[in-house]
Structure 1
Amino acid sequence: MSVRSPLNDPLDLLEVPADVPAEERAIQQTVRDVLADHARPVIADCFENHRFPRELVPRLGELGVLGMHLDGYGCAGSSALAYGLACMELEAVDSGLRSFVSVQGSLSMFSLHRFGSEEQKQEWLPQLAKGAAIGCFGLTEPDAGSDPSGIRTRAERRGGDWVLRGSKTWITNGGIADVATVWATTEDGVRGFVVPRGTPGFVTRDITGKLSLRASVTSELFFDDVRLPDSAVLPGAKGLRAPLTCLDEARFGIVFGAVGAARDALQAALAYADSRVQFGRPVSGFQLTQRKLAGMTVELSTALLLALHLARLKDADRLRPEQISAGKLHNVRTAVEIARESRTILGGNGISGEYSPLRHANNLESVLTYEGTEEVHTLVVGAALTGLQSFR
């Protein structure tokens, strides 16, 4: 027996989106509409064929989502909440799109905006905001992932210049980037360097054979005696705290993005369960299916409430790193579980690229790992609770 009309959006069950201010809702809807017209029609094919839809980059620039939470230099200066909601819509299409925007805005652009010289900002930020240039962020190395203090890429003084040697890996946007923010050890500690594509000795190689984030460019960066002028140094970045601050910016977007991926997977499961008839009734009419749908919806709503709370803290300049860790830990883990559970409702069709849940589940395996693994964020929260650092 039908009780009422089904919900189009599972988040409407607890009316969570109703608390979002009208301006931010309008921005979110605009992003959703543009992506529906230009990204959703191609994303399954991009995932299947290991292709990043680079043709969308100028449109993302026109939309204003590249560095949208930054002020000046062609950036929109939006609230943290608006940025988070944009990330939610991007990842609802595919984690690869949100990853591109996160790296462009919260790693490449933010590193320049926060730590760069005025000349560096004027040269790169307007181009990056428009999508006329693409940026990447080189921190992770083959032997330094969760422990960035172990990076071996080194920059040494040579007269008035610097010489950069080493390599980076798992770098989103690396193979298509026009400029890289690269972190290296120096005699004065970790420093950041602006390295344009085409600089002699700087080459990239894309990583292939990925089972996750296939609609994203992931690359290795190599630096073979790359000579850089002193003006390439980020003057405000001294020590490891600088790149970690950038990562906190990107992790905030993940807190919202994971909700988008989970929402899309659950909506696909709801639509399929309503249309798929077995034993004379829609699959959605069976108790075990409704148990899955109800549990996922409650968890999804909880994840969005957490994201909204962290956005309010960030807009009030009160957000702490351990709070971001708690958000990434909870929301990505929740999203992985929802995507996997949604896949089961689709039965055998769930492994088809025609449907999004398994694609989201595969992508979220990368999101669970990058910018701090589940284990690392657990220990960050543990340290905040106990006052004891357990990494070493």
Structure 2
Amino acid sequence: MTVLICVAVILVAILALAYWRAPLWLSSLVALAGIGYAVFGRGAHWGWGVAVLVVLAVLNLKPLRRVVLTGPMFQVFKKITPPMSQTEQEAVDAGTVWWDRDLFSGKPDFDRLHQFPAPKLTAEEQAFIDGPTEQLCAMLDDWRITHEQKDLPPEVWQFIKDQGFLGMIIKKQYGGKEFSNYAHARVVTKIATRSGSAAVTVMVPNSLGPGELLQHYGTEEQKNYYLPRLAKGVEIPCFALTSPEAGSDAGGIPDFGVVTRGSYTDPRTGQRHENVLGIKLSWEKRYITLGPVATILGMAFKLYDPDHLLGDKDEIGITCALIPTEHQGVEIGRRHYPGTSVFQNGPNWGKDVFIPMEWVIGGASYVGQGWRMLVECLSVGRCISLPAMSVASGKLAAYTTGAYARIRNQFGLSIGRFEGVDEALARIGGYAYQMDASQRLALTGLDMGEKPSVLSGILKYHNTERMRKTINDAMDVHAGKAVCIGPRNYLAQGYQAVPVAITVEGANILTRSMIIFGQGAIRCHPFVLRELRAAMANDAVEFDDAVIGHIGFVISNKARAFVMGLTGARLVRVPKSGPTAQNYRDVVRLSAAFAFLADMGMATLGGSLKFREKLSARLGDMLSNLYIATAALKKFHDDGEPKEDRPLVRWAVESALYDCQEAMNGFLNNHPNRFLAWCMRRVVFPLGMSLKGPADRVGTRIARSLMEPSQSRDRLVEFMYRSQDENDSVGVLEYALKAVIETEGLESKLRRAQREGQLKAITARERLQEARGKGLINDQEFAAVERARRLKREVIMVDDFDAGLQHADPEAMRRVVI
């Protein structure tokens, strides 16, 4: 029994050392001391001592370890590791890892998280948002744009060009704004709350496009010529990547060019050039935003050099070039019609079009580097453009639905008081908080110089999916008001445009099932990329160091996940006390559990995990929801932890962590090795799945905050365009909301008087006049109620049209019969 106690003490000590991530040598010393005491002090069989000594010798003596342990592992690893394609290799190498690496570590450093600067606008950026951006929003009539003109009006196009909206990312030395990524995103968000078509028009030249590529990779001549013209709107850019036969598989694009010599006329100067080194290019592209109106065409294609005019390689690889759309042979097609959005989008093609080598972005030295260039720029653009539009949808849904739920009543109550609507409002507010927080944190990283490729995938997928959910809930609450489209329907355009956001820049199914974890596991894991590179370089020494660190990493995360599962993570040190303290602890616990499950998944499934997309997707969901939870905590911290925002941050964090737990449960339920899955469950959930989703009372507090003017609501919908025009479909909401709130007591008084028989008239209008006549209300109260009812009618009415559905009746809002 004494020996068993010694063994138990040793195991507990080793567990504690693993929990605290003690180095191998310290753990070995403790194990050696413990087994020595058991053998010499308590009479344990000497065989135990010999066995432990052998294990410790193998682990600590590197030459012996490489012969006995890591050498054989290295040979197996090289055989089972699937080869990387060039595009996969470039995707792995592109961008940087940042806070996502902390989450993959199993031990996130919250002090580091809170040291990241809170995003702020400069005075110039704030002035641009308050000035030109506000002016642009006031010029936009989304109904006319999408249903009547099918394009932005000429004066809007000119305003966008003149005010520099197309050059927000271009450096000032070239005539651009040189705004921060945070400012860029906030401008797009504000415009998107007014018009999705206008937002897309502004965001595309500022995200993935020639401007971004030129600034990073262009030659000085290319920069000096094109960037000032792009900044002023003299040139309208587009970028042609997607082909009919290659959508998400950009590495499989069939468009190709062949290095050759030829002649061409430069459309910019009219000058003829004979017998120059260049490329004969053939392509067919579609879904190219701004393509129909572009003057400069960015192009991605595969380049071949069969005559070895550039070097000794036949296949050079994906290459990017800039081609004036007026160049001979360039065919610009007609327009695609992406849902009800009418941003300019269409196909283009060309056959055996000769372009000079100087039109390659970066010149001849950058041929074959196009995929790396695109992936690096995409990691930035995907953090800004579509996530910003998703944030805009969340803000618009929260603002309009909260107000509508208070203004609209049924059975004598505001519909927001019904628990079903209350529940929908909570989700709208919670998801809006999550989306805004997630993008804010990523933008902080971008403005610190990071290019977080993994986080860009998380943002693209989860923000657009939450956009879909918030718009769906908003539509449900508005019911027929949102179903009948017209000038006064502020939700239908966003609802019908959701599939565009879900599909573009990498379809969401692909992003979730292949990209987030597939890229995250390699880039964010502290050892996997080292092991892969060691295998590809046949470096057994580096592999030995990496794999021993990896083994210790797995053991530590296993111990941490188990201990925190038993204790509810109550022993974890966190940077905050108060209502969010347990949230931080739960993040640490689930981070360790995720890191353990990820390693076990990679170890047991190997290269096949790449093709087990459902399991990979669930691992991606774990990482994503940990990011969303920490982003919400960071936003709450940066905002000064306002008490009135506690329901929002609590809902956002608890919802994300519950989703993370459910992803773990799904992974364990579907792991093909059932015994191993049972063992992993005992580690990760030793006492069962303890995390719960947000309580109903938390959701109710969110719903209540959305249904009245408040600082919490104002923070949530910051950077939304809020028209001050009472005749505007969104602008009227605030006037109506305040009027309805101010007269709720009077309306209750009138209903009570009717029930008691004091008011006999049939219609509401007549009863109101009767109440004034009988002195139940005075003239001022009569006017207040009458105005509130008029504004309420403005809110709840829907448009009606002529028989051809061409012209809405502007007088319908003022038609009152009863």
Q: State the TM-score, normalized to the length of structure 1.
A: 0.88
Partner of residue 303 from structure 2, selected from 186, 190, 197: 186
Query: Residue by residue, what CA displacement relative to the aligned partner does 1:76-132 show, whole Å, maximum 9, x if unpaired?
Result: 111111111112112222332222222212223112222222222222221221222
Moved more, 321-330 or 95-104: 95-104
2:214 is aligned with 1:85 = no
Query: Residue by residue, what CA displacement relative to the aligned partner does 1:151-210 show, whole Å, maximum 9, x if unpaired?
Result: 111111231232211110100000000011011111211111111121111111234454
What is the letter of the counterpart of residue 229 of structure 1? P
> Judging changes above 3 Å, is the alpha-carbon distance between structure 1 residues 230 and 252 closer, same or farther for their aligned structure 2 residues?
same
Does structure 2 retain, via aligned residues, the 8 Å contact 1:156–1:164?
yes
Q: Distance in 1 between matches of 2:430 and 2:126?
A: 21
Structure with greater proportional strand content: 1
> Judging changes above 3 Å, is the alpha-carbon distance between structure 1 residues 391 and 146 closer, same or farther for their aligned structure 2 residues?
farther
Match of 1:249 in 2: 380
Structure with greater proportional helix content: 2
Moved more, 241-250 or 308-317: 241-250
What is the letter of the counterpart of residue 21 of structure 1? K
Does structure 1 retain, via aligned residues, the 8 Å contact 2:287–2:336?
no
Q: Distance in 2 between matches of 1:99 and 1:61?
A: 14
Partner of residue 356 from structure 1, selected from 481, 490, 494: 490
Match of 2:242 in 1: 140
> Judging changes above 3 Å, is the alpha-carbon distance between structure 1 residues 26 and 331 closer, same or farther for their aligned structure 2 residues?
farther
Give runs of aligned pairs for residues 1-392 of structure 1, distance below 5 A: 20-21=119-120, 23=122, 25-30=126-131, 32-39=133-140, 42-49=141-148, 51-53=150-152, 55=154, 56-71=156-171, 72-106=173-207, 107-159=209-261, 160-187=277-304, 188-212=316-340, 214-235=341-362, 236=366, 238-253=369-384, 254-351=386-483, 352-353=485-486, 354-378=488-512, 379-387=514-522, 390=610
Q: Which runs of 4+ in 1 moved over 6 A?
A: none
The DSSP-based 3-state class of the residue aligned with 2:288 is strand
> Judging changes above 3 Å, is the alpha-carbon distance between structure 1 residues 385 and 321 closer, same or farther for their aligned structure 2 residues?
closer
Instruction: Give the CA deviation at 1:311.
Output: 0.7
Instruction: Give the CA deviation at 1:385.
Output: 4.7
What is the letter of the counterpart of residue 458 of structure 2? A
The DSSP-based 3-state class of the residue aligned with 1:131 is coil
Instruction: Give the CA deviation at 1:231.
Output: 1.7
> Judging changes above 3 Å, is the alpha-carbon distance between structure 1 residues 209 and 82 closer, same or farther for their aligned structure 2 residues?
closer
Does structure 2 retain, via aligned residues, the 8 Å contact 1:174–1:218?
yes
Does structure 2 retain, via aligned residues, the 8 Å contact 1:340–1:357?
no
Does structure 2 retain, via aligned residues, the 8 Å contact 1:310–1:319?
no
Match of 1:15 in 2: none
> Identity, % of aligned pairs?
21
Query: Residue by residue, what CA displacement relative to the aligned partner does 1:267-309 show, whole Å, maximum 9, x if unpaired?
Result: 2223332332322233233332222112210110111111110
Q: Distance in 1 between matches of 2:611 and 2:151?
A: 36
Moved more, 110-119 or 76-85: 110-119
What is the letter of the counterpart of residue 367 of structure 1? A
The DSSP-based 3-state class of the residue aligned with 1:76 is coil
> Judging changes above 3 Å, is the alpha-carbon distance between structure 1 residues 319 and 248 closer, same or farther for their aligned structure 2 residues?
closer
Moved more, 329-338 or 370-379: 370-379
The DSSP-based 3-state class of the residue aligned with 1:170 is strand
Instruction: Give the CA deviation at 1:250.
Output: 2.1
Q: Distance in 2 between matches of 1:32 and 1:145?
A: 33
Unaligned runs of 5+ in 2: 1-117, 262-276, 305-315, 523-606, 613-818
Q: Distance in 2 between matches of 1:278 and 1:60?
A: 44
Does structure 1 retain, via aligned residues, the 8 Å contact 2:322–2:359?
yes
Q: Distance in 2 between matches of 1:216 and 1:391?
A: 36
> Judging changes above 3 Å, is the alpha-carbon distance between structure 1 residues 57 and 75 closer, same or farther for their aligned structure 2 residues?
same
What is the letter of the counterpart of residue 165 of structure 2? V
> Judging changes above 3 Å, is the alpha-carbon distance between structure 1 residues 208 and 315 closer, same or farther for their aligned structure 2 residues?
closer
Does structure 1 retain, via aligned residues, the 8 Å contact 2:380–2:453?
no
Q: Distance in 2 between matches of 1:163 and 1:285?
A: 67
The DSSP-based 3-state class of the residue aligned with 1:199 is coil
Query: Residue by residue, what CA displacement relative to the aligned partner does 1:219-254 show, whole Å, maximum 9, x if unpaired?
Result: 001112222122211124624111222322321222
Q: Distance in 2 between matches of 1:230 and 1:74?
A: 27
The DSSP-based 3-state class of the residue aligned with 1:223 is strand
CA RMSD across the alignment: 2.2
Query: Residue by residue, what CA displacement relative to the aligned partner does 1:332-377 show, whole Å, maximum 9, x if unpaired?
Result: 1111110111111111121223322221122121111110111222
Does structure 1 retain, via aligned residues, the 8 Å contact 2:210–2:322?
no
Moved more, 88-97 or 312-321: 88-97
Instruction: Give the CA deviation at 1:51.
Output: 1.7
Match of 2:526 in 1: none
Instruction: Give the CA deviation at 1:149.
Output: 0.6
Instruction: Give the CA deviation at 1:25.
Output: 4.8
Q: State the TM-score, normalized to the length of structure 2.
A: 0.43
What is the letter of the counterpart of residue 189 of structure 1? G
> Judging changes above 3 Å, is the alpha-carbon distance between structure 1 residues 385 and 182 closer, same or farther for their aligned structure 2 residues?
closer
Does structure 1 retain, via aligned residues, the 8 Å contact 2:427–2:470?
no
Unaligned runs of 5+ in 1: 1-18
Q: Distance in 2 between matches of 1:219 and 1:209?
A: 8
